[in-house]
Amino acid sequence: MAQRNGKSKVKSANTRSGKKHYDGDFSKYSKKNNLKAKRVEKISKPAPSKKSSAKNTTLQFDKDGSIRLNKYIAHSGVCSRREADKLIETGAITVNNKIVTELGYKVKKGEKVHLDGQLLVAEKLQYILLNKPKGFVTTTDDPEDRKTVMDLIKNACSERIYPVGRLDLKTTGLLLFTNDGDMAKKLTHPKHRVRKVYHVFLDKPLTKNDMLEISNGITLEDGLIIVDKISYVEDITSKKEIGIQIHSGKNRIVRRIFEHFGYEVVKLDRVVFAGLTKKDLPRGRWRHLTKKEIEFLKII
């Protein structure tokens, strides 16, 4: 937050301009940019494909036909490599029915790897981006038998993929799915400060004083919350629409920030996640990440 002559200047949520799609650039965005995506009747269909799409990444074995055991486990989609090391150390992993506790152990093609008796299969890595509609819970299985985000991407691939983080029932926007345990771990860990930008619709105008307090950081019941950037959405004179950028992954964090100051979040849309945007991705549609996007996520 910049300070000049005792007055506060709110930075925009994104310094890039000239975009025709809504990508988190709140300082340049206006209603004419078609904020409200048209309702998609058949929500399980993919978005139009791109020539550069990378539908999967094949598991790479060494020249001798072997691969580190922790990497094999991570490719099976159950956990990250670091977590796989812990499973190995505790004796939960067997290779050809023999317990392996040696870190750095290499498994060869054709060998059978089990976790607590369950066969693990190293799958092709998949990366699916969904523009989530409201009314779907972010879970792989719901005991209340509600619609889940898995229903939306059930035809995307044959591998078992899981959502990275979560969006609540009423929240719309970008949600990533993968069976890459290492990447999922990295994208959800606070230390990597993964950028998430939301478009917030409030029940009443946000005052400048409240915006200033939010930008300076606030303490909620679960600790201090740092907001990276916040601004009004340009051309929205009511000041009920806000752009906010955060890296926290705490549950319902955006809603709780505004509720703390007495505002109700009427609508909430995640428009940017880890550099990925909703460009060419209508509400309810999904697509495979491009090779370039996957490479970018791996270096975060």
Residues 116, 145, single domain; the answer is no
The contacts found for 109-118 with CB under 8 angstroms, 24 or more apart, are 109/61, 109/65, 109/66, 113/69, 113/72, 113/73, 113/76, 115/73, 115/78, 115/87, 116/92
pLDDT at 252: 93
Residues 282, 136, single domain; the answer is yes
Q: Classify residue 46: in a domain, yes or no.
A: no
pLDDT at 57: 62
Residues 154, 274, single domain; the answer is yes
Q: By the 8 A CB rule, do 135 and 169 touch?
A: yes
Q: By the 8 A CB rule, do 113 and 90 touch?
A: no
Choose one of 83, 100, 120: the last residue of a domain.
120
Residues 159, 202, single domain; the answer is yes
- CATH code of 90's domain: 3.10.290.10
Beta bridge partners of 79: none
The contacts found for 229-232 with CB under 8 angstroms, 24 or more apart, are 229/11, 229/12, 229/13, 229/14, 230/10, 230/13, 231/10, 231/11, 231/12, 231/13, 231/26, 231/27, 232/10, 232/26, 232/206
Residues 196, 279, single domain; the answer is yes
Residues 20, 95, single domain; the answer is no
DSSP annotation string for 91-113: T-EEETTEE---TT-EEETT--E
Residues 14, 142, single domain; the answer is yes
Q: Classify residue 48: in a domain, yes or no.
A: no
Number of separate domains in the chain: 2
pLDDT at 8: 37
Residues with catalytic function? 168
Distance of alpha carbon 33 from alpha carbon 267, whole angstroms: 18
Residues 104, 15, single domain; the answer is no
Distance of alpha carbon 72 from alpha carbon 107, whole angstroms: 8
Distance of alpha carbon 135 from alpha carbon 120, whole angstroms: 33
Per-residue pLDDT of the chain (300 residues; tens, 9 = 90+): 444 444 333 344 333 333 333 455 544 443 333 333 333 334 456 776 554 455 556 677 888 889 999 999 988 878 888 899 999 999 999 999 999 999 999 999 889 999 998 999 888 889 999 999 999 999 998 999 999 999 999 989 988 899 999 999 999 999 999 988 889 989 998 888 899 999 999 999 999 999 999 999 999 998 999 999 999 998 888 999 999 999 988 889 999 999 999 999 999 999 999 999 999 999 999 999 999 999 999 888
Is 0.85 topped by the overall pTM? no
Residues 228, 273, single domain; the answer is yes
Parent domain of 91: 66-120
- CATH code of 152's domain: 3.30.2350.10
Q: Classify residue 43: in a domain, yes or no.
A: no
Residues 18, 165, single domain; the answer is yes
Residues 283, 140, single domain; the answer is yes
Q: Classify residue 83: in a domain, yes or no.
A: yes
Residues 112, 131, single domain; the answer is no
Q: Classify residue 54: in a domain, yes or no.
A: no
Q: At what angle do helices 181-188 and 81-89 cross, to 10 degrees?
A: 110
Q: Classify residue 80: in a domain, yes or no.
A: yes
Residue 49 corresponds to which tokens in the numbers above?
Answer: 């494909």
